[in-house]
Amino acid sequence: METEASDITRSKLIAWWGSIIGVCLVIAFGSIFITRAYLVRNRYEMENWRPPHIARLETDLNAINRTGEKVSLGQMRGKVFVAGYQYTDCPAGCLGLASVMKSLEEEFGDDPQFRLVSISVNPAGDTPEKMNAWVKEKGVDSADWWFLTGDPGEISKYMISKFKFYATEEVTDPALAASQGPFAHDQRLAIVDGEANIRGYYDVMNVQRGDVEIERLRRDLKMVLNPKLKLSDLQ
């Protein structure tokens, strides 16, 4: 009887351990399968990733270029442009934005699809003549770089509702106004593709991560200009 009981106990233990081992094998193989599927999916997404479509300029913006010519953003259809929000009386940030945009022109200016657009934060103060003088003084004079002014209300509304830029605020503190300018405004740059889709925003003036944002802008711009490029081509 004792031998029979021992055999039953041994059989139960073997069955129990067999079940445990079986469950562990299922979990192990399942983990391997899930990990492999994740790696395959991640590789696919990395290879096929594109700068996203964040917003779209559904309507046009009529403005005046610094040359005095009446233009509209609709004329940029088929082009890829980087847009910035600037004004001539800005003592610091706008010069930094202009410097970044100039570096983009030096890198991508030979591409016939590439353009730059600077839109005035202060259209009431930025006449075409004033903007043209500022452009020449700062060494950013290029036929492929628009500096736009126009109706203050229309430009402000367009930048907020279409470009999704932050609303501009007037600086009331005299000390801040003297060092940072009379307007606190969005200092990001945006990429707009040939179909008027906004493909990214880049906080290039950010003190902590400005350099990283510039590199991200350069990478995304390359991919928007050349849709056949993959991330692996840029590494």
Question: What pLDDT is stored for residue 12 in this prediction?
Answer: 62
Q: Do residues 142 and 181 both lie within one domain?
A: yes
* Domain count along the chain: 2
How does strand 145-149 pair with strand 183-184?
unpaired
Q: Do residues 7 and 89 both lie within one domain?
A: no
Q: Do residues 86 and 150 both lie within one domain?
A: yes
Q: Do residues 61 and 168 both lie within one domain?
A: yes
Question: What pLDDT is stored for residue 37 in this prediction?
Answer: 44
Give the separation between CA 235 and CA 224, rounded to whole angstroms: 16
Q: What is the CATH number of the domain that holds 61?
A: 3.40.30.10
Q: What are phi and psi of 134, to 5 degrees?
A: -65, -45
State the amino acid at position 192 in one-letter form.
V
The pTM of this model reads 0.81
Task: Specify if 147 maps to a domain.
Answer: yes
Task: Specify if 232 maps to a domain.
Answer: no
Task: Specify if 217 maps to a domain.
Answer: yes
Q: Do residues 111 and 211 both lie within one domain?
A: yes
Task: Specify if 140 maps to a domain.
Answer: yes
Domain limits for position 162:
55-227
Task: Specify if 164 maps to a domain.
Answer: yes
Using alpha carbons, select from 119, 109, 113, 127 the residue that is nearest to residue 84: 119
The two three-digit tokens of residue 117, written as one number: 């657009």
Question: What pLDDT is stored for residue 114 in this prediction?
Answer: 98
Contacts of 27 (CB under 8 A, 6+ apart): none
The single-letter DSSP state of residue 59 is S
Give yes or no for a contact between 89 and 181, defined as CB atoms under 8 angstroms apart. yes
Q: Do residues 42 and 90 both lie within one domain?
A: no
Task: Specify if 234 maps to a domain.
Answer: no
Question: What pLDDT is stored for residue 234 in this prediction?
Answer: 82
One pLDDT digit (tens) per residue for the chain, 235 residues:
555 556 556 666 566 666 777 666 667 666 665 555 444 455 555 567 889 999 999 999 999 999 999 999 999 999 999 999 999 998 888 999 999 999 999 999 999 999 999 999 999 999 999 999 999 999 999 999 999 999 999 999 999 999 999 999 888 888 888 888 889 899 999 999 999 999 999 999 999 999 999 999 999 999 999 999 988 888 7
> Which residue is listed with tokens 């009386």?
89
Q: Do residues 120 and 74 both lie within one domain?
A: yes
Q: Do residues 220 and 179 both lie within one domain?
A: yes
